[in-house]
């Protein structure tokens, strides 16, 4: 990673360890962000840590996920977030102000700084040359309290861009091509850095689309250089002083280099049910599309919205297709309203939703039964849309808008020359819906709704651990599988006992009841267990049910960290041992404290009367966290 932009930023923020890939490092965090789906728990954890005020340069609490207020739960959480933010020195972005990643890019992101967010798509900030990393809420709470963020030092893979994009080919197609080549596991343990002559042709919003979906690679983060295009964007946002030029050295050494000729790309589509199942749109032309949804933190910028408006102007949405559009921020929505683009969308028959995550997180707009939904989003995991049998595809706003008019998959290149969309020299700036915190020392009452329940914890790790296998699942299990999203579940995010009733509901509806009946147990998983969202509820809710361990062939980065944070053993097993394990097997580990410290556990299968070895790939600090029974216990025992 010598001479890379990533190395420069990591080195400038390194407070513990050495920049050796795979070794744990501690980073100083400049900024944090939370969103309301994960934020309530993050601030409860900050309160539990006991500092009087955040110690970052800047922290922002956003409300963008749970905005469908079917009952008082979400509104109560929002009031809690507003008051706790005021007390602890955190800016508060009100409901309706926009999606956290879009707004942070517009109003707060700074090239060369570090950003830790309780959302897996925090690497969106890499579009501006900022190192954004997604993490569980507890890690973000610790960073707000002034602690370093600990992570295995990633290796750096370079993506060299050459050439220029053709008509109707977009940044979304670039990241879909990267996913097609590397797969959803290709970024694990890696930081993806974009460079080369093709970078100059991409605006900051286009770059942010690419870094946003880098999360689907399993990457620690993704980043672009900070160059003249970055300066233009920041100047248009009235933030000229935030710009600094940043780039890799000419002789930068990457672990590997992937070269993409932008001129050779064509419009691409990710097919159900994985972002890496990518094919050219030409293979799908003519197939019906029941629903089109445009927006999300991936593709809701002013540039994207204006392009959609150009496609829709003078046309009508097909009678057989529903089209929804979610602008990414109040800034974008206001500018669309003033320049007439919003009127074009409405005239075409689009349903314009508020500036929020909306359908991407399953918060409304579930497709029809067995429907085909084409979305400009970042994830198409099975059931995430709210309709279990839906077939969800991912594509660029260009492909989405074209399909909405045609009622079927269509190639936008058939529309003729693509419109040229220029970013404004000055965006409309109105920060009135971003509330600054109260002055330090002010008397602020924190308001807690009745749905907010305490954080689940457990005691120190017992030296003898025994558990029954409650469930066995396959590869690429997502956090959506473990703790579902959507309108039914998100209002319960601050109520772990209630949300825990739905753990693994889509796979095994009886799991939660069985776990409680048996007093807990373990889960066996395949490769890449826990991919997807950063939601720590996928660890907290199993903890509430008594889950003591997960035995898997491999883990997704954020989920593994969340398991450690909440004292659940992340045991890595090989293929043969995975195959041999069955639901109902009773497993026992003797000398668990020593096993965590050594990194190797001998697991006795009492049911089958045989033993096998499992790995605990932990840093010395993580071992101490597990021994203590989780991060909160560990923090209380030590100094930040």
Residue 124 near residue 212, CB atoms below 8 Å? yes
Rounded distance, CA 174 to CA 171, Å?
5
The three-class DSSP label of residue 569 is strand
| 564 has pLDDT over 90 | yes
Burial class (CB in 10 A: 0-12, 13-18, 19+), 74: buried
CA proximity to 295, closest of 634, 67, 566: 67
Residue 118 near residue 34, CB atoms below 8 Å? yes
- Per-residue pLDDT of 412-425, as tens digits, reads 999 999 999 999 99
Q: Which domains does the chain have, with CATH numbers?
A: 5-263 (3.30.499.10), 279-412 (3.30.499.10), 464-485+495-628 (3.20.19.10)
The phi, psi pair for 126, rounded to 5°, reads -65, -20
Rounded distance, CA 330 to CA 80, Å?
22
Q: What is the pLDDT of residue 639?
A: 55
The three-class DSSP label of residue 600 is strand
Rounded distance, CA 520 to CA 467, Å?
7
Question: Tokens at residue 416, please?
Answer: 């003729």
Residue 502 near residue 483, CB atoms below 8 Å? yes
- Per-residue pLDDT of 504-548, as tens digits, reads 999 999 999 999 999 999 999 999 999 998 899 999 999 999 999
Share of the chain above pLDDT 90, in %: 95
Three-state secondary structure readout of 99-125:
CHHHHHHHHCCCCCCEEEECCCCHHHH
Mean pLDDT of the chain: 96
> For 459, left (φ over 0), alpha (ψ -120 to 50), or beta?
beta
**H/E element, 159:** strand 155-162
Q: What is the pLDDT of residue 640?
A: 45
- Give Cα 15 distance to the centre of its chain: 25
- Per-residue pLDDT of 380-412, as tens digits, reads 999 899 999 999 999 999 999 999 999 999 999
Please give the angle made by the CA atoms of 252, 257 and 397, to the nearest 5 degrees.
Answer: 115
Which residues carry out catalysis?
64-65, 119, 379, 533, 535
Q: What is the pTM of this model?
A: 0.95
Tokens 């974009």, residue? 194
Cα of first residue to Cα of last residue in the chain, in angstroms, is 30
**H/E element, 152:** strand 149-152
CA proximity to 596, closest of 557, 635, 568, 562: 568
Burial class (CB in 10 A: 0-12, 13-18, 19+), 590: middle
Burial class (CB in 10 A: 0-12, 13-18, 19+), 599: middle
Cα–Cα distances (Å) from 398 to 312, 403, 618, in that order, read 10, 9, 44
- Per-residue pLDDT of 358-370, as tens digits, reads 999 999 999 999 9
Average confidence (pLDDT) over 15-41: 97
């Amino acid at each position: 990673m010598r001479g890379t932009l990533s190395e420069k930023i990591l080195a400038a923020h390194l407070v513990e360890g050495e920049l050796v890939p795979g070794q744990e490092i501690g980073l100083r965090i400049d900024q944090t962000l939370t969103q309301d789906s994960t934020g309530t728990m993050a601030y409860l954890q900050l309160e539990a840590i006991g500092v009087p005020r955040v110690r970052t340069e800047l922290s922002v609490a956003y409300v963008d996920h749970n905005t469908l207020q079917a009952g008082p739960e979400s509104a109560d959480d929002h009031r809690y977030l507003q008051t706790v933010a005021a007390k602890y020195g955190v800016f508060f972005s009100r409901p309706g102000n926009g999606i956290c990643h879009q707004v942070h890019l517009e109003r707060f992101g700074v090239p060369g700084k570090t950003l830790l967010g309780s959302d897996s798509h925090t690497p969106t900030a890499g579009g501006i040359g900022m190192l954004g990393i997604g993490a569980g809420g507890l890690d973000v709470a610790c960073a707000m309290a002034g602690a370093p963020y600990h992570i295995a030092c990633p290796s750096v893979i370079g993506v060299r861009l050459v050439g220029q994009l053709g008509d109707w080919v977009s940044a979304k197609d670039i990241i879909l091509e990267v996913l097609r080549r590397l797969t959803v596991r290709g970024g694990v343990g890696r930081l993806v850095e974009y460079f080369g002559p093709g970078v100059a042709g991409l605006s900051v919003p286009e770059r942010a689309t690419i870094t946003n979906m880098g999360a689907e690679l399993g990457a620690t983060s993704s980043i672009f250089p900070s160059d003249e295009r970055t300066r233009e964007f920041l100047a248009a946002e009235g933030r000229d002083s935030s710009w600094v030029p940043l780039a890799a050295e000419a002789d930068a050494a990457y672990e590997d280099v992937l070269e993409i000729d932008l001129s050779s790309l064509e419009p691409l589509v990710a097919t159900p049910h994985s972002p890496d199942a990518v094919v050219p749109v030409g293979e799908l032309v003519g197939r019906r599309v029941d629903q089109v949804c445009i927006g999300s933190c991936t593709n809701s910028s002013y540039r994207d919205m204006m392009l959609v408006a150009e496609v829709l102007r003078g046309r009508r949405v097909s009678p057989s297709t529903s089209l929804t559009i979610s602008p990414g921020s109040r800034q974008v929505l206001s500018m669309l309203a003033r320049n007439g683009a919003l009127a074009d969308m409405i005239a075409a028959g689009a349903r314009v939703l508020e500036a929020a995550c909306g359908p991407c997180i399953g918060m409304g707009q579930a497709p029809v039964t067995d429907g085909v939904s084409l979305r400009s989003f970042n994830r198409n995991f099975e059931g995430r849309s709210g309709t279990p049998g839906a077939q969800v595809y991912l594509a660029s706003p260009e492909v989405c808008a074209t399909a909405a008019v045609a009622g079927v998959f269509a190639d936008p290149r058939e529309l003729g020359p693509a419109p040229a969309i220029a970013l404004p020299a000055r965006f409309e700036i109105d920060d009135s819906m971003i509330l600054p915190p109260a002055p330090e020392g002010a008397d602020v009452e924190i308001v807690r709704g009745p749905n907010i329940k305490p954080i689940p914890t457990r005691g120190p790790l017992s030296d003898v651990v025994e558990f029954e296998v409650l469930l066995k699942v396959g590869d690429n299990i997502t956090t959506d599988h473990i703790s579902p999203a959507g309108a039914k579940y998100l209002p319960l995010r601050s109520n772990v006992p209630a949300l825990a009733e739905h753990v693994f509901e889509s796979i095994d509806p009886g799991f939660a009841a069985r776990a409680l009946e048996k007093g807990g147990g373990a889960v066996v998983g395949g490769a890449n267990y826990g991919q997807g969202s950063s939601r720590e509820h996928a660890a907290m809710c199993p903890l509430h049910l008594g889950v003591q361990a997960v035995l898997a062939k491999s883990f997704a980065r954020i989920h593994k960290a969340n398991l450690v944070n909440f004292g659940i053993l992340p045991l890595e097993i090989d293929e043969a041992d995975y195959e041999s394990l069955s639901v109902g097997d009773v497993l026992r580990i003797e000398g668990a404290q020593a096993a965590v410290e050594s990194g190797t556990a001998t697991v006795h299968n009492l049911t089958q009367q045989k033993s096998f070895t499992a790995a605990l790939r932990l840093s010395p600090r993580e071992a101490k966290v597990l021994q203590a029974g989780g991060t909160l216990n560990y923090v209380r025992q030590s100094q930040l």
